Amino acid sequence: MENIEINLESSEETTWFSDEEKVVIEKINFEFTQSSKIRGIYRKISIFNDHHCYQSIKNKHKRKYKYRVDLSFLDPRPFRERKVAWNWLYGSIGLALIGIVMIYLGWYSGLFSPTAYYETSLIVIISAMLISFLLFIHNSYDKVVFKSQYGRVKFIEVLNKNPNKNTFRKFLSRFVKQVKNEKSKKVFSQSKFLTRELQELRRLKNEDVISQEQYESGKALIFKHKSFQVS
């Protein structure tokens, strides 16, 4: 047996991790890796000891972090979240068309010879087009999310169809099956389960995995549940 250790090849200043519980790895059930060079994301998910999900994430544009969640507190139903930043895409297409027209008029139509100012304007338009397209990629996403059972807080999210459609489907099917199996093993009453999920939310909030707002939202839903009120 060994202690959990995931190397993100980064310094302590850029990697966040502070698991309140000491968990020993007895076995690793399966692992799954995703990466996107365009988004600058690397993610590794490890399922170990049957009921723990450990996730390490390197994000070029945000902080790097790693954390653990108990699978039994997840809703086994995956939710798809998809957004296409059409405004940035339309902007990049429009700028590309302007650039094409300018190139045609300046170098192929024979109507006039392009001046230095004309060339500079074309460079600015092409640069703006590239920036607009990069913003389109950055603000668009297609991901699959797993939320906590009662607090409805996002615990796990993965890029849809990454690294490819078949590999992703196999992982998703196996992950959902693992969550269902672990939930079926819990012999807690519903009120006890709600209390344990609240403790899990508090731990993840203390580790800066979820925000204070997410924690308060999840806590409010748990407090409103009739089984929690009875307890």
Domain boundaries, the chain: 2-83+140-230, 86-138
The DSSP annotation for 95-111 comes to HHHHHHHHHIIIIIS-S
Other C-beta atoms closer than 10 Å to the C-beta of 201 total 25
Which DSSP helix (H) or strand (E) runs through 141? strand 141-147
Alpha-carbon span 18 to 207, nearest angstrom: 6
3-state secondary structure of 145: strand
pLDDT reported for residue 138: 85
Alpha-carbon span 42 to 7, nearest angstrom: 12
Alpha-carbon span 64 to 73, nearest angstrom: 24
pLDDT reported for residue 3: 43
The DSSP annotation for 9-76 comes to S--TTTEE---SS--EE--EEEEEEEEETTTTEEEEEEEETTTEEEEEEEETTS-EEEEEEEGGGB-S
β-sheet with 154-159: strand ranges across:
79-83, 141-147, 154-159
Structure tokens at 223: 């407090």
Splitting the chain (231 residues) into consecutive groups of 10 residues, what average pLDDT does each group show?
40 50 87 90 94 89 83 96 96 97 93 92 97 93 96 96 96 97 89 94 92 96 84 57
Query: What single-letter amino acid sits at 2?
Result: E
114 secondary structure, DSSP code? P
Alpha-carbon span 191 to 226, nearest angstrom: 9
pLDDT reported for residue 32: 97
Q: What is the pTM assigned to this prediction?
A: 0.80
pLDDT reported for residue 89: 97
pLDDT reported for residue 61: 67
Which DSSP helix (H) or strand (E) runs through 130? helix 116-139
Tens digits of residue pLDDT in 56-78: 998 876 777 889 999 999 999 99
Alpha-carbon span 64 to 181, nearest angstrom: 30
How would you class 137 by CB atoms within 10 Å of its CB: exposed for 0-12, middle for 13-18, buried for 19 or more?
A: middle
pLDDT reported for residue 9: 41
